[in-house]
Amino acid sequence: MAKQPNLMSKKNQIRVNKKKKTDAGLSKSRPKSKTGFRPHKKKTDETAPAKSDGLIRLNKFLANSGVCSRREADVLIESGAVSVNGEIVTRLGTKVKPSDTVFYNGQKLRAEKKVYVLLNKPKDFITTTDDPQKRKTVLDLVRKAGRERIFPVGRLDRNTTGLLLLTNDGELAKKLTHPSHGVKKLYEAHLDKPLTKADMVAISEGVVLDGEKVIPDAIAYAGTGEKKEKVGVELHSGQNRVVKRIFEHFGYKVVKLDRSVFAGLTKKDLPRGKWRFLTEKEVGYLMMGKQ
């Protein structure tokens, strides 16, 4: 993974949690290897490749098919929503062969290979898998990524640009979007007027949105800090439109918003509107939760 660019001026930076080390240019980076990754640990038996007989657990088959995470698959199995070779299966731990026919919700499933696509989203594309109004979606930009059915991890507003991960790995997607995992995101917001230092301090101390106090991990004027209407915000909240709502709470309008870092991934060498596959090291980095 590439080293993240330093978008914030250290002089103007406000650190919120000194104990947390971030690597998005807002604080000192954690030690990394020359490749930017920590040594890849061996997987446990639960995530190890299937044995030579080809049998895998049914919940893993469902997760590999992009239906949901393995834990959610257990719930579906116990509820009787899954059938194997025409018979409803409710026993957890059931194993299936590649030749078995598995149905969920009336749809035949197949275990797809895992695909991880990083997109630098442009404006005017909505983050959804389908749109009844026939507007442009992010899937239109990644059609050539393969035949596997991938979906966006989280959301970006139609006019918000920047990094968006798409995958058919339901388990990883849930991990990256659940608030308990604290996945870091770095945004650069262009406001309709300069942000005062007093408001910046107030934002750094936390804003209550929908009954939840959202505290940015860091906030600073972008670049040299001369243009105080450009502000960098690092946070891990998963609330909808959280950055725009934070500034709206203090009377500012976000006229442009770009996500430059997501879970340790950056936009380096990825032009707007383009995409690329994640490397094995990047996928391993995400799996280990070292964002």
Residue 29 located in a structural domain:
no
Residue 32 located in a structural domain:
no
Q: Which two tokens stand for residue 89?
A: 């299966």
Residue 15 located in a structural domain:
no
Residue 196 located in a structural domain:
yes
Tokens 């209407």 found at: 229
Residue 254 located in a structural domain:
yes
Q: Are residues 258 and 271 in the same domain?
A: no
Tell me the residue range of the domain where 54 lies: 45-109
Q: Are residues 192 and 247 in the same domain?
A: yes
Residue 290 DSSP code: -
Residue 103 located in a structural domain:
yes
* Amino acid letter, 119: L
Q: Which helix (H) or strand (E) holds 75?
A: helix 70-78
Distance (Å) of CA 127 to CA 28, 63, 239: 32, 22, 15
- CA–CA distance, 50 with 150 (Å, rounded to integer): 23
- CA–CA distance, 179 with 239 (Å, rounded to integer): 9
- For residue 101, the Cα-to-chain-centroid distance in whole angstroms is 32
Last residue of a domain, one of 109, 124, 152: 109
pLDDT of amino acid 78: 94
Q: Are residues 272 and 168 in the same domain?
A: yes
Q: What is the mean pLDDT of each run of 10 residues along the chain (291 residues)?
A: 49 48 43 45 43 75 81 92 93 89 88 89 92 90 89 93 93 83 91 97 95 94 89 89 95 97 95 96 86 59
**CATH classification at residue 275:** 3.30.70.580
Residue 8 located in a structural domain:
no
Strand partners, 2: none
Catalytic residue, chosen from 100, 130, 131, 157, is 157
Q: Are residues 171 and 275 in the same domain?
A: yes
Q: Three-state SS string across 4-17, please? A: CCCCECCCCCEECC
- Between helices 280-287 and 170-177, what is the axis angle to 10°? 60
- CA–CA distance, 66 with 231 (Å, rounded to integer): 37
- CA–CA distance, 106 with 241 (Å, rounded to integer): 35
Q: Are residues 147 and 200 in the same domain?
A: no
Q: For strand 161-167 and strand 254-262, is the pairing parallel, antiparallel, or unpaired?
A: parallel
157 is annotated as an active-site residue? yes
Mark residue 143 as left, alpha or beta (left: phi above 0; alpha: psi -120 to 50; beta: remaining). Answer: alpha
Q: Which two tokens stand for residue 77?
A: 């199995």
Q: Are residues 253 and 219 in the same domain?
A: yes
SS3 label, residue 18: coil
Tokens 């299936």 found at: 96
Q: Are residues 251 and 189 in the same domain?
A: yes
Q: Structural domain tally of the chain?
A: 3
Residue 250 located in a structural domain:
yes
- CA–CA distance, 70 with 100 (Å, rounded to integer): 19
Q: Are residues 139 and 283 in the same domain?
A: yes
Cβ–Cβ under 8 Å, residues 122 and 136: no
- Phi, psi at 181, each rounded to 5°: -85, -10
pLDDT of amino acid 29: 43
pLDDT of amino acid 251: 97
